[in-house]
Structure 1
Amino acid sequence: MAQVKVTLIHSVAHRQPTQRRTVKALGLGKINSSVILPDNAATRGQIFKIAHLVSVEEVK
């Protein structure tokens, strides 16, 4: 199964509460924190909601 590395590159300060909860649900905390997640529809949907706050890389 493919995986993606998600890195938080912008702060969640002054963002909508739903965006803050999405960042926390993905397992991200501080800026530059990264997490490797499975590449599925649920994860892609969450990433889409906060695409302006994160960077995404494909992991082999």
Structure 2
Amino acid sequence: MKDMKFSDTHQWVSPHDEEVAYIGISDYAQESLGDIIYIDTPSIGAKFKAGEQCGTIESVKT
């Protein structure tokens, strides 16, 4: 994805256009988290400001 930016805590954002961006976590974060037990993602169309929390991931190490 073009223009992907990573945070120090392994999240990323990739702008799609003026109003839409894709979000996710790095491969390292996925491997480090272990089994994901809960995920809360924003609704389609939700709007956020820079630095604002936009979801939750809970996991357990196996």
- Indicate the TM-score class for this superposition, using the shorter chain for normalisation: under 0.3
TM-score normalized by structure 1?
Answer: 0.23
> Per residue, is there more strand in 1 or in 2?
2
Greater relative contact order (Cα 8 A, min sep 6): structure 1 or 2?
1
Structure with higher Rg: it is: 2
TM-score normalized by structure 2?
Answer: 0.23
